[in-house]
Structure 1
């Protein structure tokens, strides 16, 4: 029976995905013949099928790696078996990516297949000079690298880097899903990237569990299913939210749901709702019943899993058909808009209304990745506090309040009015920078998230690593001990200002959405490490004495103020072909000098708050030390004081 399921499960997945892809292409017209330069039926139908195979391969690869990291034990056979599944899937992903790139070349160039020099020259030019060809070449090369790494790397810690690389392999696919320069490009790339990555974890994890059933005993099966179920719940939420955002960008209005594209969207929504019901039944009924049953491997459970794979295949196939179908909302590039302003051409987005103080709070540019990060950050923190309270442990209320306020502040900076105007005005960009490095960390660090996680998350005893084990490993690692050193943290905090603004990194952060996301992460981490070195509660390898913390704070802020003054008095523009070419808002040089004033002045309030916090912690430390000495004196009858007096008396007697 189980052997049959291991064969039927993947077969049902592929068959359902293939049939739904073909039906979706027929409904949406994604494989219809082109009026001009038609590449032929083989390419028109073969390209979406090849992309479907890419998605299935990516799911098996990423799902197997994630399951190995968070659910399986290296002490058991299951661990190596899951990595074998990931390696085989990576090889499948590589071949499918190469086939997709080949079909894409035939569609874009419309050159008939041949073996002459002209075809070879066209292929070489496509894969080395054309952006979409370069994307598929990079994807194929990463897939080949991952195939080797999944076979060669069996170290539990090193696999985290292999998993990161497997997610990076999806980035070129996410960037192809929306026309660059079209309105909403950044939001579409973010939504599609999240959708692909978390759908891969969801689908690949379930597929890997079926393939590993022989290596998993009954008890291990229940444990692994429970862990997978928690990951699948997060994946379902992210896939649902990102899918909604993608559909909203491409459908536009409710009336467009009646178009062929809209009907495919509704079909995918229906498949996701069915999968959500499967997840609820799995978490609330199946796993509990299997834990209570003497024979958990009932046939009905495996047939339900096969059914779940079938609906996953339907959702995957419809998604591929959607990617090839024309959207009701046209993707118009800014350069094609009549009388487009320079700011529209540079950013690809419609211009916001003129900036006023009130519009900092009324205009929004939602960044889905940070919305989800903040929402999950608040949710899991509150769950941790609830766990502590439920078992009778205390947790200071002020820590919870500060953490929630910090996450709300991070959400506003990354999605509110500051995020709307920062790509047009240098001063607003600097305001976001100061908030990310100084305001948000001052709120988050006192929340002590690592300490809460260590107390709230259950410790695993089977050799696998959950969130608690990975956090502990990261905190106690050698790189973390170096980065958490107060002098290194302060150096990164100050040095990154000069390195970022006076190197091509600044341009990358402005013109590329991935660069912008990297900038936000970098500012947040450097600020968090610096504040942690001053007032942190979470454990670190070394802390400076309190007087030196104050000196470090004052010295760092002096360099920070010097940086702001350098911008205020400077006469050369940062990114003259970006901020200087906008032709929107205030004069670019005046606005840049205002940004320097923000860098110089806005940092003063967090500096004062940090100085007060260090002073308070210093006072409390002295008070605790005094109480400790008093208790020790009461317990020992002032033995230390009596010994000290006797020593002084002995010295005096010797002198006489």
Structure 2
């Protein structure tokens, strides 16, 4: 047996041993049910955490090998050498990921319906997938893993494989809906923190696992791969640590619960992760500098990481000090949190809402942008202060509309929801687009280490100029998405369906923001674009969109029925009880808010128009200096010939 296979088997045995030990210490080992009580049996009780660990390891390995093949090892138009082998390994690990996920799905059906595996049937499996959020999450995981496996067998081109890496990371996300976070208070914050935690883990551990494989293969490209992996590992480590602390705080409830079985497991996992982060960075720098000992260190780290993942598996099956039934009333279950108090000026402008989407966007948008600006200044490059200010203003507007007071009340009042909608789709995108984030990313992302390499910068540029980007940035398409979604959402049952689920509300917030960014990217964008839209066409596009927005606002104000009436009836808020009056107010807010972006965008278009003319004049002046006004001399000669005739 080769060294990588022996080390993989050793890591798996360590993980299984930690699972058994942690379950024993936490008191979660399978126990026989009292007579007459349905019981899936001890086999399911032991197999569930083992299948979960194998599923997680499959995800980690798949993401890691794709990361090495696409980003860490140098590559050209087609992958070569060790990168090809990494993709082939990723295809096999994706198959294992899908198989373990399928076993995990079946075991969860057995556990939830309290039946042995031999007593299951297709109807129970179908009911679990259709009617239960964890069932849908596990099914999506299996489907995503199979897609990754097929693509890895189909192509060796870096760009499709970069998309496949994104699919693999997205496949990890639904699992966040299958644990404690999906059923407790502060729902969106708990689910989003768990999502970020899972993504950070698979990137961090997966990258390290694949680098260990590269080191054991004796590749001379290892130092280049480590250098590119280090900043990725730092971001992943910070994400894992911050999201883990947030999630643990929500589940523990107070410091007094730190000595509970769940709290002790959290402490053990935290200690392992912190030790890995601190000592791993220090030791890896020394080893890379001396160019020896990396394989030995990274294998040791991987064993500790597998142990931490095993502890996380047991944590997912250990009862939390904060129970999963803290949401008692129908309104609390709809909101994922207690009903907020009656709105006031102070609560609307200074309030706080534990919104995971808004918090994640705010933190990452500020951290990534500021990091890029600092990198430019450190190497002596200039970045306009106005762009930075514009970006930060846009992020603040998004924060107010999601995690601020408006975000809190947007769940319970149509008028507040409409303010949040307008902020996310019509105000914040203007400032975000003028912040030129794509340009900043292109100037700071790693470039090619050798001619022809598909570096992160090249992959981003290829995405910007891809056929898909060209389609979505067509002025007509952008306008249809921006304005058409208003009518499709509010004048159908879609709004009520999305408001009834936490994921639906997050989807609306993300859609509002992305639709607005796409529209204003076409109208006033300063970043590179696959299309060149003249200023006059941009201005016309803006003028055409105004009547559609105004008509929508009037239609909402004139409606004699309540939009999403059943949702607001079940919510039964103790204030603003006149639903139709609150809806009328929301329509008026939408109408009035539409004037603000009009002024901002018109000003931006005229400034860009003026600058475009100034640049064209400078270009013509330079051309005239080079050819001694050849065009002017030619034109004068033409006029003289006409005069002679």
Alignment of 1:198-597 (within 5 A): 198-213=200-215, 217-218=219-220, 220-281=221-282, 284-287=285-288, 289-290=289-290, 296=291, 298=292, 300-332=293-325, 334=327, 337=328, 340=329, 342-462=330-450, 463-584=452-573, 585-586=575-576, 587-597=578-588
Per the alignment, residue 599 of structure 2 pairs with 608
Larger deviation, residues 131-140 vs 89-98: 131-140
Larger deviation, residues 484-493 vs 607-616: 484-493
Contact map agreement 1:194 1:369 (CA 8 A) in 2: no
TM-score (norm 2): 0.91
Specify whether residues 167 and 382 from structure 1 end up closer, same or farther in structure 2 by C-alpha distance, changes over 3 A only: closer
Per the alignment, residue 15 of structure 2 pairs with 17
Of the three residues 621, 634, 642, the one matched with 2:612 is 621
Higher RCO structure (Cα 8 Å, ≥6 apart): 1
CA distance in structure 2 between the partners assigned to 1:450 and 1:630 by the alignment: 30
Displacement of 1:443 in angstroms is 0.9
Displacement of 1:583 in angstroms is 1.9
Displacement of 1:119 in angstroms is 4.5
2:98 paired with 1:109: no
Displacement of 1:532 in angstroms is 2.0
CA distance in structure 2 between the partners assigned to 1:380 and 1:398 by the alignment: 17
Per the alignment, residue 646 of structure 1 pairs with 637
CA distance in structure 2 between the partners assigned to 1:380 and 1:136 by the alignment: 32
Aligned with 1:248: secondary structure? helix
CA distance in structure 2 between the partners assigned to 1:179 and 1:621 by the alignment: 51
Per the alignment, residue 177 of structure 2 pairs with 175
Per the alignment, residue 293 of structure 1 pairs with none
CA distance in structure 2 between the partners assigned to 1:27 and 1:404 by the alignment: 48
Displacement of 1:476 in angstroms is 0.9
Contact map agreement 2:446 2:456 (CA 8 A) in 1: no
Contact map agreement 1:9 1:309 (CA 8 A) in 2: no
Contact map agreement 1:71 1:466 (CA 8 A) in 2: no
Q: CA RMSD in A?
A: 2.6
Specify whether residues 62 and 516 from structure 1 end up closer, same or farther in structure 2 by C-alpha distance, changes over 3 A only: farther
CA distance in structure 2 between the partners assigned to 1:532 and 1:346 by the alignment: 35
Larger deviation, residues 319-328 vs 614-623: 614-623
Per the alignment, residue 188 of structure 1 pairs with 190
Aligned with 1:577: secondary structure? helix
TM-score (norm 1): 0.90
Displacement of 1:43 in angstroms is 2.2
Specify whether residues 544 and 46 from structure 1 end up closer, same or farther in structure 2 by C-alpha distance, changes over 3 A only: closer
Aligned with 2:345: secondary structure? coil
Contact map agreement 1:233 1:279 (CA 8 A) in 2: no
2:33 paired with 1:29: no
Specify whether residues 75 and 545 from structure 1 end up closer, same or farther in structure 2 by C-alpha distance, changes over 3 A only: closer
Displacement of 1:359 in angstroms is 0.7
Aligned with 1:157: secondary structure? helix
Displacement of 1:484 in angstroms is 1.9
2:95 paired with 1:91: yes
Larger deviation, residues 135-144 vs 199-208: 135-144
Larger deviation, residues 230-239 vs 521-530: 521-530
Contact map agreement 2:447 2:456 (CA 8 A) in 1: no
1:565-609: per-residue Cα shift (whole Å, max 9, x none)? Answer: 111111122211112432213122111111111111112112101
Displacement of 1:264 in angstroms is 0.6
Aligned residues: 635
Displacement of 1:139 in angstroms is 3.4
1:324-357: per-residue Cα shift (whole Å, max 9, x none)? Answer: 11111111163xx3xx3x5324324211111112
Specify whether residues 376 and 256 from structure 1 end up closer, same or farther in structure 2 by C-alpha distance, changes over 3 A only: same
Displacement of 1:358 in angstroms is 1.4
Unaligned 5+ runs, structure 2: none
Specify whether residues 379 and 279 from structure 1 end up closer, same or farther in structure 2 by C-alpha distance, changes over 3 A only: farther
CA distance in structure 2 between the partners assigned to 1:216 and 1:484 by the alignment: 46
Displacement of 1:515 in angstroms is 2.7
Larger deviation, residues 641-650 vs 50-59: 641-650
CA distance in structure 1 between the partners assigned to 2:389 and 2:599 by the alignment: 20
CA distance in structure 2 between the partners assigned to 1:631 and 1:159 by the alignment: 44
Specify whether residues 543 and 137 from structure 1 end up closer, same or farther in structure 2 by C-alpha distance, changes over 3 A only: closer
